[in-house]
Amino acid sequence: MSSESHVPTPLYSLGLSYTSSIYDPSNDTFLLMDVLEEHKNELISLKPLLVFEIGSGSGVITVFLKKLLHPWVNFISLTSDINMNACRCTQETCSMNSFEKKIDSICCDTIKPFLPRICNKIDLLIFNPPYVLTEEKPRCEEELCYAGGPNGRHVLDGLLPRLKDVLTVVNFVDGGHLECSVVGNRIRGCENLFVLILIEVYLIPKMGNEHSGVSALDNHLFNLRFAAKELVRNSKKCEKEEKDEKNKLVAALKKGQREVAQVHAENAIRKKNEAINYLRMSARIDAVAARVQTAATQKRVTQSMSGVVKAMESAMKSMDLEKVQNLMDRFERDFENMDVTTATMDNAMSATSTLNVPQGDVDMLMKEASDQAGIELNMELPAGETGTIGIKVSTPAENDDLSQRLAALRQS
């Protein structure tokens, strides 16, 4: 989660005469907002152009997402609800939060009326479906916001088969499918609430299939990046649990319960080590993903150059000098692109890999951080040479490094 302050819950009003049939923001609503905020960086990197919320109700989820991603991402927001009063309330919530001209709310059943106009155009689809078990399907407008039918999945089961038709990222090649992961969980009373995310998963194409659209390297690259993000989430979870154990440790000491305090101290240390291990493994997977990215990019460039070579051979046979010149220019551009790509990925690998980071750099960074926090680490970290009046003396290596950096700045 970002270190920035939390985005407050949007202003909303359900005290109007027409809001009696609208689902009030509740535990599941707040859980979904927490999960969206936790994945803020991923949402910004996604750069969605079209975001669609099904069953907007009070409208707080879509308005919250607008506030969360502003000003980094400017996207079109569409919402739908089968309850006309919910659409009116969504517009009222938008107006109260100064988004009245940026969010459209349509009274309809899920996404059916939008097809086929929005086929493969939705970048992010948000849905908090009605899940309460009911003996029958909803019979009146008041039941639509919560009734999930006999299995609690009446509305959801009708939507899932349509995802491949509306989402931009879904491309079911060679039997690809959506993989479901739990990204949020909260227990409130008798309810065990979950937030699920559906991630596109490609099957590895068969050998010799040239029309699959996605290579095995691309599949592995996606899975590696997803695994790295999952490890980072686990690390943050352990950090939170470590803080909780420290608070329990202080409380136990205040009560004089030394044995209980010792248990919480051990738990805090264990959670701290787990968080570090998760973060270290995530960095290693990032380094591997960078190498896979290099291989995938070089493969695509190689295939492009192979096609150019074949075209050159055909042009040489016809002796069309202008065509040969154009193909030679393309061939040189491909080589230049390959050189730039290789250099860029080499830099990325050296930046993401933590296995070869010089210990001196790590020590210097720790010393700078300790200086900012007012912590003295002079006894633990090596210090540079100092002159007679306590001023650090630059070494020849440092002077060379400074000269190189200044030269690089002049060139840029």
DSSP code per residue over 184-252: EEEEETTEEEEEEEEEEEPPPPPTT-TTSSS-HHHHHHHHHHHHHHHHHHHHHHHHHHHHHHHHHHHHH
Share of the chain above pLDDT 70, in %: 60
Q: What is the pLDDT of residues 12-33, one digit of tens each?
A: 876 666 666 787 888 888 999 9
- What does the pLDDT average to over 34-57? 88
pTM comes to: 0.48
Among 70-74, 211-215, 385-389, top mean pLDDT goes to 70-74
- What does the pLDDT average to over 131-136? 75
Q: Per-residue confidence at 405, pLDDT binned at 50, 70, 90? A: low
Does residue 402 register a pLDDT over 50? yes
pLDDT of 337: 66
Q: Per-residue confidence at 388, pLDDT binned at 50, 70, 90? A: very low
Cα 268 → chain centroid: 28
Domain 17-205 listed as CATH 3.40.50.300: no
Q: What is the pLDDT of residues 290-299, one digit of tens each?
A: 887 777 777 7
Coil, strand or helix at 296: helix
Does residue 255 register a pLDDT over 70? yes
pLDDT top residue among 229 and 323: 229
Alpha helix stretches (DSSP H) within 255-387 = 258-318, 321-352, 359-373
- What does the pLDDT average to over 109-128? 84
Per DSSP, 9 falls in state P
pLDDT of 169: 57
pLDDT of 61: 93
pLDDT of 201: 52
Does residue 220 register a pLDDT over 60? yes
Domain edges within the chain: 17-205, 215-358
Does residue 257 register a pLDDT over 90? no
Q: Over the chain, what is the mean pLDDT?
A: 73
Write out the two tokens for 346.
């080499």
How many Cβ atoms sit within 10 Å of the Cβ of residue 262? Answer: 13
pLDDT of 219: 67
Q: What is the pLDDT of residues 135-174, one digit of tens each?
A: 776 666 666 666 777 777 778 888 888 887 788 754 444 4
CA pair distance 265, 247, nearest whole angstrom: 10
DSSP string, 23-39: PPP-HHHHHHHHHHHHT
Contact 163, 126 (CB under 8 A): no
Does residue 380 register a pLDDT over 70? no
Q: What is the pLDDT of residues 66-108, one digit of tens each?
A: 999 988 888 888 899 988 888 888 888 998 888 866 788 888 8
- What does the pLDDT average to over 188-193? 76
pLDDT of 206: 38
Q: What is the pLDDT of residues 314-369, one digit of tens each?
A: 666 665 666 666 766 776 776 666 666 666 655 655 554 444 445 666 566 556 55
Share of the chain above pLDDT 90, in %: 5
Among 173-182, 250-259, 354-363, top mean pLDDT goes to 250-259
